[in-house]
Chain A
């Protein structure tokens, strides 16, 4: 059974309290939110299995800190969607604004449209699949996890990158400091194949290039001592 919450009649705070309580109850209920009208912080802080479908576009910080829940936005999402997500699945049918999936620790963020700048900034284990393009400074200081982009990437991809894997099918406008193209080995094809399947993406793993850290910023280089 699906419970419908209409935001023309129910306040945002009540919607979130209801969802958070249902998540805690571990009953794996289904909710549908109508008339979201671009509200902020929708379906954030869910800590348990729950299915939430938002029928429209959302504002800042939708599905932030998500744990175990499945959140689908049938529209576009504002800045900071699925920020610091821990697990579960967040799907955006439209576009996502800046810093989507920032600092995410786990789970899957599946963006069917484009994501703008700083997608996956400082990601720490989350998997992000973007079916369209991503903007500049994406995966800046990304530590762990996978960022898969079916379209193009903007300027300075993977600047100051740690150990996150970046897979891009289209063009990369420019790579950030210490980010380089790397060999696509069989294990990477396997990871990518699984992620594309999970995200329902129509693409072949072989069409992608892999980018990662050159690991030159990890340690201080004594030869550069005079530079400071």
Chain B
């Protein structure tokens, strides 16, 4: 069992409230996943720049002068924002690959990267994780979150969701995949590698790899129904929006709500209780083996 939440804003006026709304949704899903929590938030972006989110268990040492070190390593201007165990480095797109290689070599864990996406995830109760990162104060256009009850791999930062396997793409999952080892080997043959032993990361890598091959988000999500075996309710985030797909058996719960202001996803209706205007929202359960996505 895990909890998933997602919120896609249709109106810019709500942007400053995104973190606040998502945090309440996330904390409500604590019963479904008390061992770790994470959030991917799509916020402000600067033309030509990329944000890399990294994590360290010893942030004081690891993040001290990290901007200067990366700047020297990739020969490009770098700014850093430290948020508890995470740091977001902003640098020119052209230097992204070298910067990630350098950061990995230094033993930092890469949470994700992209023009607008930042990922924060840790072990612990969702309310504690949210407080550590100040999720309530984060603004943005859309975000997805996850509360984890681990089944397939260890309770670690790297095992927490969301998983990001390409720029501005991420995935959260409720369920378990049974062919993830086989799929991991298939993807590795294509040169697509994962960073953890987790089944969901393979799902994320599968979607990213399909998109890299030219598939649309919708086509990549359709592909999960054919190519991934097991139970899943997936919510995937991209720079422009988010998508939802459930396996054909659809035993993992899902509910959606839409108003003029937003589209919301959750494992249970409880997570919607504090959303503005929810009483008048259209609420429905996404159909099995059916792809839904919203993009701006």
Contacts and interface: CB of A to CB of B under 8 A. Distances in A.
Name which of B253, B270, B272, B279 has the most chain A CB atoms within 10 A of its CB: B270
Interface string A26-46: 000000000001111000000
B288 A117 contact: yes
A136 B248 CA distance: 9
Interface in A125-168: 135-136
B269 A38 contact: yes
Interface residues of A, number: 22
A185 B69 CA distance: 83
A173 to B, nearest CB: 11
A196 to B, nearest CB: 25
By size class, the interface of chain B is: 10 to 19
A116 B246 CA distance: 13
A97 B251 CA distance: 10
A38 B285 contact: no
B288 A136 contact: yes
A103 interface: no
Nearest to A136: B288
Contact of B270 (A38, A79, A98, A114): A38
B283 interface: yes
B33 to A, nearest CB: 16
B288 A76 contact: no
A37 B278 CA distance: 10
B60 interface: no
B154 interface: no
Q: Main SS of chain A's interface residues?
A: loop
Contacts of B270: 37-40, 59
Given A56-B279, A116-B285, A98 B250 contact: yes
A170 interface: no
Nearest to A58: B269
Interface string B267-296: 011111100000100011101100000000
Contact of B268 (A38, A114, A117): A38
B255 interface: yes
Contacts of A40: 270
Interface in A29-82: 37-40, 56-60, 75-76, 78-79
9 contacts: A37-B270, A38-B268, A38-B270, A39-B270, A57-B269, A59-B269, A95-B285, A117-B288, A136-B250
Interface of A: 37-40, 56-60, 75-76, 78-79, 94-95, 97-98, 114, 116-117, 135-136
Closest 3 CB pairs of A and B: A38-B269, A38-B270, A37-B273
